[in-house]
Copies of this chain bind each other. A is one copy, B any other.
Amino acid sequence: MSKHVYYFGGKAADGNGKMKELLGGKGANLAEMCLIGIPVPAGFTITTEVCADYYTHGKKIPEAAIPEIDEAVKKVEAEFGKKFGDNNDPLLVSVRSGAALSMPGMMNTILNLGLTDASVEGLVKKTGNARFAYDSYRRLIDMFGSTAMGCEHEEFEHEIHKLKDEKKAKLDTDLSADDLKELVKRYKAVYKKHVGDDFPQDPRKQLFLAINAVFNSWNGNKAIEYRRIERITGLKGTAVNVQAMVFGNMGDNSGTGVAFTRDPNTGENVFYGDYLINAQCEDVVAGIRTPEPIAKLDSEMPKVYKQLMDIREKLEVHYKEMQDIEFTVQDGTLYMLQTRTGKRTGSAAVRIAVEMVKEKKIDEMTAVKRVSPDSLNHLLLPQLDPKAASKPVAQGIAASPGAATGKVILSAEEAVEFHANHPLEPIMLVRKETSPEDVAGMHLAKGILTSTGGKASHAAVVARGWGKPCVVGCEAMKIDEKARTITIAGQVVKAGDFITINGTTGDIMIGKVPTIAPTMTGDFATLMTWADKSRKLKIRTNADTPADAKKAREFGAEGIGLCRTEHMFFGEERIIAMRQMILASDAAGRKAALAKIQPFQKADFVGIFEAMDGYPVTIRLLDPPLHEFLPHDAKGQEEVAKSLGLSPAKVKERVDELHEFNPMMGFRGCRLPIVFPEIGDMQVQAIIEAAIEVKKQGKSVLPEIMIPLVGVVEELVILKKRAIAVAEECFAKAGMKVEYQVGTMIELPRAALTADKIAEEAEFFSFGTNDLTQMTFGFSRDDIKGFMPTYLKDKILPIDPFQTIDFNGVGELMKIGVEKGRASRKAKHSQHLKVGICGEHGGDPDSVVFCHKIGMDYVSCSPFRVPIARLAAAQAALGETVRDK
């Protein structure tokens, strides 16, 4: 180690912005600002290597570092024109910790270091403000004592409360300068009692004690625990930043402000921020006084304003990013205290990125890398009009994002009826909970609100699939079906009245609140074009209806990766036939019932193929267990019995027979057509006949038949053989052929583990990561409410594995599956195995990056997440790593 201390100040710095490992994030950034000529209060950084050395030498600052520190202090004094401990105009400094990564649990800042009984008088003289000087001094004793020397902060607090009682002062600010002088005395007594020594009157001693304290905090319990939980390893230690202090509250020639180099809400290229004259930075943030808009500074301090405008441009040119800055003006001199990348809304992010390309500050690829895919969410959903005033009366669980407003309807049947009579009136379906029988009504509603259930409830899952706003588990809401009212937090709302939900936040508002619709135009469309140039992954969508398919095409989907067929069985005529099928006693009875459903299924597929002209459509055969199609209550069973001319006992018997302890792990997926082949045959026939019909229209149709829940290759062997036989029959009847493929979902651990065998039969793989996550972890999404909150809070899981793929466990299985599958398909058939993903993870940016890395061909996600996936895929291809969450 040749150099222990890195000075910065004036327009020079020993370090620079790239030296984060050595100087910490903060230190490197301060050096960088100096280097590009931005005025920064002078200071110096003691390196992370000194910290490491401190620990290897029994918690002692290495001898060689001490003269370097003294030297650096002298340079700061020279640059600043003040002396440490000067009795007339003392140099004060701040001392801060700062590792390469931001790390809570390490030492807080010590401000005003350098004040002593003598120099505080100098500060009084210099500022003419005794109250300010003594307040600064007592704060130093508190901060220094409690963060550096182990005193209890509460004991200092106790003294100020006592004094306020004595002086009958209500606020701290009611204390006079003399009161604060008295308080300094008492604080020093507290300090002495705890430390054993007097509060140090030598600023150099203060400084070295503070440096030791920063180093000690690196191995404090909280910091160690934080590093363990966040799995942070390989860091040398923390750096120490010592920096001259400046004050914005030294009169009308001083001031302070915060600003963004562009508007963070809209992205417009205007200087945006607030300032206050004669104030400290905290005053702006705390909102005690109302700050002025930054443009006004031009008239109040024209020189400073011009300087700031130059700095704004300089920072943007240098960092090639919109910046969030803090500044202080002391006696007419401008100092920049901080610059960092500014946070912004999704629409601002898009506009800034695109405009910066036009301004030639960045290139297209940088613009693509710059915008966080998740921030697009904002642009893709209806939002509450920010101009409208709306006050939530209650909050439920935010289950599916976006805002919706509509008339309260209390049942799915009523929704269907209401919609038939008033097709243009928006519906808000309000239920205790929803069930598969409600889907028709749910589909017609603008939004769904339930009083029970969690993020995995039926309402939540269905709504998310459709991108429809939904709030669930609103316990403050009671539904009175007889009175035809709902009561939310004491307020009664009648059926037919308006109500509004915000599925992004869970807020519920009574009455109609205007919403604004998503658009994909201008800058957004431009950014997407750039993204598409870079990405390797294809982006498909999960869509079950022609309407969803069309919407997804507008958002840029390149095919359907998952068309679920189960919803298609709930239409009124279909569900009767479906139940007839389930209740039939033999294959002939089942076939007769299925024959009634077939024309409907075919029509469904015709619509979807038409919408997807030229793009592939993956259709998953029926997946859920049969009992989901039968009612579980006695009344419902009686109705079914009546409608089918059976005895209620017979219906109940079949329901009992089909009952499952763990339906997730039961008689579903490909197990259904293995036992009841006629179900699969009917579906394949509908798919192929629809494909023939659409091809006859002159359209291009690419059906992919997907067999779900395969765990054993023999399942696929049998079902593929049947599918081919059915298709050949259709071709013979029609006198023409259609290209099609037969493949499988990989959603069981065993399927991934034996992917080599399965790929000998499957023409494509689609990873069903929802089920794969459930089976790999051994927990069902519906049953995690008891422990998942604890797991996420205690970081047992770093992130909800249903949101982002669990790379180490589920991801490992996916890697095995892709590698074994590809190798085997190549060896056996000399073919590239097409591999995709169709779980909800397909719309999660980090998961998309993972899918890119393991070499998938496509991801498939909800229509309204298609642009997010396009952007994430582009970033993956441009070499972005998985972002921290």
Contacts and interface: CB of A to CB of B under 8 A. Distances in A.
A779 interface: yes
Contacts of A712: 791, 796-797
Interface of A: 658, 660-667, 671, 674-675, 709, 711-712, 714-715, 718, 747-750, 753-754, 757, 771, 774-780, 782-784, 786-787, 790-791, 794-797, 806, 808-810, 812-813
Contacts of A795: 714
A674 B787 contact: yes
B790 A674 contact: yes
Given A712-B797, A775-B776, 13 more contacts: A660-B780, A661-B780, A667-B787, A674-B787, A709-B778, A712-B791, A714-B794, A714-B797, A718-B796, A748-B776, A749-B776, A750-B777, A757-B808
Contacts of A666: 779-780, 783-784, 786
A210 to B, nearest CB: 34
Given A674-B790, A806-B750, A778 B665 contact: yes
Which 5 A-B pairs rank lowest in CB-CB distance, beginning with the nearest? A667-B786, A666-B783, A750-B809, A665-B780, A662-B780
Given A778-B775, A794-B718, A810 B750 contact: yes
Nearest to A715: B796
Nearest to A666: B783
A787 B750 CA distance: 17
A807 B65 CA distance: 63
A322 to B, nearest CB: 38
Nearest to A774: B665
Contacts of A753: 776, 808-809, 812-813
A124 B830 CA distance: 66
Contact of A664 (B665, B675, B790, B809): B665
A675 B792 CA distance: 12
A808 B754 contact: yes
Contact of A663 (B675, B711, B783, B806): B783
Given A667-B786, A754-B808, A786-B671, A777 B662 contact: no
A715 B795 CA distance: 10
Nearest to A710: B778
A662 B787 CA distance: 15
Contact of A749 (B658, B775, B786): B775
Contact of A662 (B674, B783, B796, B810): B783
A775 B749 CA distance: 7
A327 B779 CA distance: 63
Contacts of A809: 711, 749-750, 753-754
14 contacts: A662-B663, A665-B665, A666-B779, A671-B779, A675-B786, A675-B790, A709-B778, A712-B791, A712-B796, A749-B776, A753-B809, A753-B813, A754-B808, A775-B778
A113 to B, nearest CB: 39
Most buried by B among A771, A782, A809: A809
Nearest to A709: B778
B778 A660 contact: no
A208 B813 CA distance: 56
Contacts of A757: 808
B750 A778 contact: yes
A779 to B, nearest CB: 5
B749 A783 contact: no
B662 A782 contact: yes
Contacts of A791: 674, 712
A13 B582 CA distance: 63
A794 to B, nearest CB: 7
